[in-house]
Amino acid sequence: MEPALLLNDDYRFKITETERKLWLAGMTTAKKIKVSRSITIKHWLQTLLDVIYRECLSARINNAKPRTLEMWEKAAEDVKRLLS
């Protein structure tokens, strides 16, 4: 059996809290996309943007700290810039 990486099994990575949140958003995006060979970067980025918006909304609902909201808003702006 091949080893599997669990979403919360990232303790070996030397990444910041922000990088970890974005990494998990990317993993969520990968799970949402139907795997195919014809996936485009635009499709990937649009799905990632959707995940980021949902994370931002969830953070607002749960009264997250301002730095968390700013991080998600900046991430959304960066992805939108890549899509334009």
What is the distance between the alpha carbons of residues 18 and 71, in angstroms, rounded to a whole number?
7
Whether 81 shows a pLDDT value over 70: the answer reads yes
- Burial (0-12, 13-18, 19+ Cβ within 10 Å), 23: middle
Average pLDDT of the segment spanning 60-72 = 95
What is the distance between the alpha carbons of residues 66 and 63, in angstroms, rounded to a whole number?
9
> 61 or 37: which carries more pLDDT confidence?
61
Question: Tens of pLDDT along 24-50?
Answer: 898 888 888 876 667 888 988 999 999
The amino acid that residue 65 corresponds to is: K
- DSSP-derived letter for residue 34 is P
Average pLDDT, the chain: 85
